[in-house]
Amino acid sequence: MRPSGDGHLLRAFELDGPLETERLILRPFTEGDFDFLFSIRSRPDVARYLLWGPQTEAQVREILDQKIASRAIREQDDVLALAGVPKGTNEVIGDFILRLVSKEHQQGEIGFIIHPDHHGRGYATEAGRELLRIAFEDVELHRVVGILEARNGPSARVLEKLGMRREAHLVENEFVKNEWQSELVYAMLDREWRRLTSEAQPLPPAPRSRRPGTSP
């Protein structure tokens, strides 16, 4: 048997107000975000590389209730869900999450979905960096992963821009939507985050092309 974790206690994190990045306000979801959430989760192109297909209004309302309640990381499987709003606007353009995968082993996972109208502007990278900051500096996780369908090249590039390493390519490991699908696993350790931030690397410029890309 493998030994259990070293007993390091993770720090609880609860969102008590909006967070700011260079261009975004990241805030809790509210009832008023239904139209945005339905506009992305009902689209076949958004759901193409995700585990779920286009969702109905009833399904999205249930998801929204879950996201509204997802404001803190305390116990295993807790999720922090953030709506991304460009500064100077009231328009939600992205759905970002941090999930505590294992409390004992100090593992987390990040995910993001950007509305297709706002692809190619670097918003996923910008918000993803804030999710990693929360994971490593506020919650004090040891390892954070990003997992995506292997054909989802744009999302893989986002994770690479964040400085995450490609750790695995699982070939046809899941039967999803009537086909065998493969997964890519990207990861970052706390010491890699510290090294990255100590180098004070700036965010990469937003690409000019508009390529579709989502991640769970």
User: What confidence tens digit (pLDDT) does each residue in 69-128 have?
Assistant: 999 999 999 999 999 999 999 999 999 999 999 999 999 999 999 999 999 999 999 999
- Classify domain 13-198 at the CATH class level: alpha beta
Look at residue 6 in the predicted model and tell me its pLDDT: 53
Residues of the chain by 3-state class (helix, strand, coil), percent to 5: 30, 30, 40
pLDDT digits over 116-143, tens only?
999 999 999 999 999 999 999 999 999 9
- CB-hemisphere CA count at 13 Å for 133? 11
- Strand runs labelled E in 59-193: 72-73, 79-86, 94-102, 107-114, 143-149, 165-176, 179-189
Domain layout of the chain by residue ranges? 13-198
Q: How far apart are CA 121 and CA 10, in angstroms?
A: 34
Q: What is the DSSP letter of 103?
A: T
